[in-house]
Amino acid sequence: MIPELSVTDLSPGGAGVRAQALDANGFLVDDFRIVEAERMIHVLNAPSPAATASISIGLSIARRAGKNFGLAPLSGDQEP
């Protein structure tokens, strides 16, 4: 159950700014954009909820790095 809110429950807050990638046509990239190049892995876009997904994103990048750069597998990692 959610209690009712009243004006006294609210307080003013500041606005934030976050970077948001645009595609070649100028449209917002709404999803994670991870691009691989020779000996490189770039996270070009990590919109909200990037903080919530940061562990998963990190694991994905670590797995790609392991595969692309010949690194040892992550502890406990298995091939799908």
Domain that holds residue 50: 21-69
80 is a domain residue: no
Alpha carbon distances (Å) from 80 to 30, 52, 54, 63, 77: 27, 24, 21, 12, 9
57 is a domain residue: yes
d(CA 77, CA 27): 36
Query: What domain count does the chain have?
Result: 1
28 is a domain residue: yes
> What digits encode the pLDDT tens for the residues 8-58?
888 888 777 777 888 999 998 888 889 999 889 998 888 767 678 888 888
62 is a domain residue: yes
7 is a domain residue: no
Return the H-helix or E-strand segment holding 51.
helix 50-69
d(CA 31, CA 44): 10
58 is a domain residue: yes
37 is a domain residue: yes
48 is a domain residue: yes
Q: What is the DSSP letter of 33?
A: E
pLDDT at position 64 over 60: yes
